[in-house]
Structure 1
Amino acid sequence: MGPREVEREERDKRQEHARREVVAMLGALEAHAHQAVELTQAALRDPRPGNLAFWRAFRAKIDDFRALVSLINLRLPGLEGARADALGQEFRRLDAAMLTLYVRTAGVHFRAMLDRAVLPLVAHDVLRPELALLDEALARLAGGEEASPRLAASATAARADLEEVLRRVPALPDFDEPDAPADPPRLAARDGLQ
């Protein structure tokens, strides 16, 4: 076997390894998507709508999904051939489905939170990062392959509901701020305490 054949065989092995890696990651993406759907369905049956514990579990699945998306985005450009195109299409389908699930779930969840008389104190700090994620979703839905005016309207409504939730619940104080006093104020001697 000549040097060209050896080089081609090595390249084919790398391609096959990369393809298998992407296939495994796509399987993991699909599993995370199914788990996120199950969480959403369970939350819809929950007698306490707008449950923050559900949102944390759902967001953990979304974060795991997004991490895998980043890895796949790094691997896909290195693949060649018809199999690579099919894997790319499957990846884009799953990513679009998860975007739709996130936007719809956020809309239902934040609307339910607005209807609650009492919101958890930590709601502001837990939910504030969602503004950036909804903005990202809106940008994706505004143009390109994923353009969807109806879903963009849902994302806009979810963002408005979230902003209202954030207005209703104050942020917790950050005791690590440099402006915060190092020691709590002492009671004056005139108050009878020393």
Structure 2
Amino acid sequence: MVWRAKNVRQEVEGLLLALERQAREAVGLAERAQRDMDDDRFASYGDFRRKVEEVRALVALTEDRLRAYVGEKLDDLRTEFERMDLLLTVMLVKATRNYFATMKDDQVLPIGARELFEPELRNLEETRAKLAQPRFQGQVPDTVLAELEETVGMIGKIIARAPSLPDFSDAPAAPKPVRRLRTLGRPIRT
């Protein structure tokens, strides 16, 4: 039992360290995406989003591990995880808000921007639901909740003017070839 508790503790500590490292990388990518916005480049936003998804997956994994070891003495790590989870959530909300706040109203958006930004709204809705949970009551500053609402509004306006990917699903089927390929190699008789 002592070996198992020590092993579980080391695993959770490793996950918390990885979370911290991934969060720092996400912040760096958010800053780069914000700088690239001035040059109308959107590729670095994709890098930021991928890193955020990695952070979210790591949060879910850590939460799952902590939930699986209820009997273990990991209360200090649970407390640290909850603190870090709240900090990461707030940090990602601010980074997302800063990114979309730098987008100009007249900025030309690439084709497919709608599909790029729609998942962001879903993520923010999930974040809103997460911050409304009883465990976060009183811990989330009102300014963060206001920034979250403001970001949802900004993204909604951007999506409304963003071009979507072309839909080729209603296009008619390609015409059938007139000649078979085997007859194309025959010499023409005159």
Q: What is the count of residue pairs matched by the alignment?
A: 171
TM-score, L = length of structure 1 = 0.77
Report the residue type matching 1:165 in the other structure: I
Structure 1 residue ranges without an equivalent (≥5): 1-10, 185-194
* 1:40 aligned partner: 30
1:88 is aligned to 2:78: yes
Residues 114 and 79 of structure 1: is their aligned pair in 2 closer, same or farther, counting only changes over 3 Å?
Answer: same
Equivalent pairs: percent with the same residue? 35
Q: Secondary structure in 2 aligned to 1:115? A: coil
Equivalent of 1:27, from 6, 17, 35?
17
* 2:185 aligned partner: none
1:105 is aligned to 2:95: yes
* 1:134 aligned partner: 124
TM-score, L = length of structure 2 = 0.78
CA RMSD of aligned residues (A): 2.3
* 1:187 aligned partner: none
Q: Deviations along 1:106-145, whole A, 9 cap, x unmatched? A: 1121122243521121211111111111111112233423
Cα distance in 1 for residues equivalent to 2:31 and 2:100 = 15
Q: Deviations along 1:72-117, whole A, 9 cap, x unmatched? A: 11211215455x1111112112211111111111112112224352
Q: Deviations along 1:24-79, whole A, 9 cap, x unmatched? A: 11111010011112223334555717742232111111111111111111211215
Compute the displacement of 1:172 (Å): 0.7
More helix by share: 1
Give 1:8-19 correspondences, 5 Å limit.
Answer: 11-19=1-9
Give structure 1 regions of 4+ aligned residues with deviation exceeding 6 angstroms: none
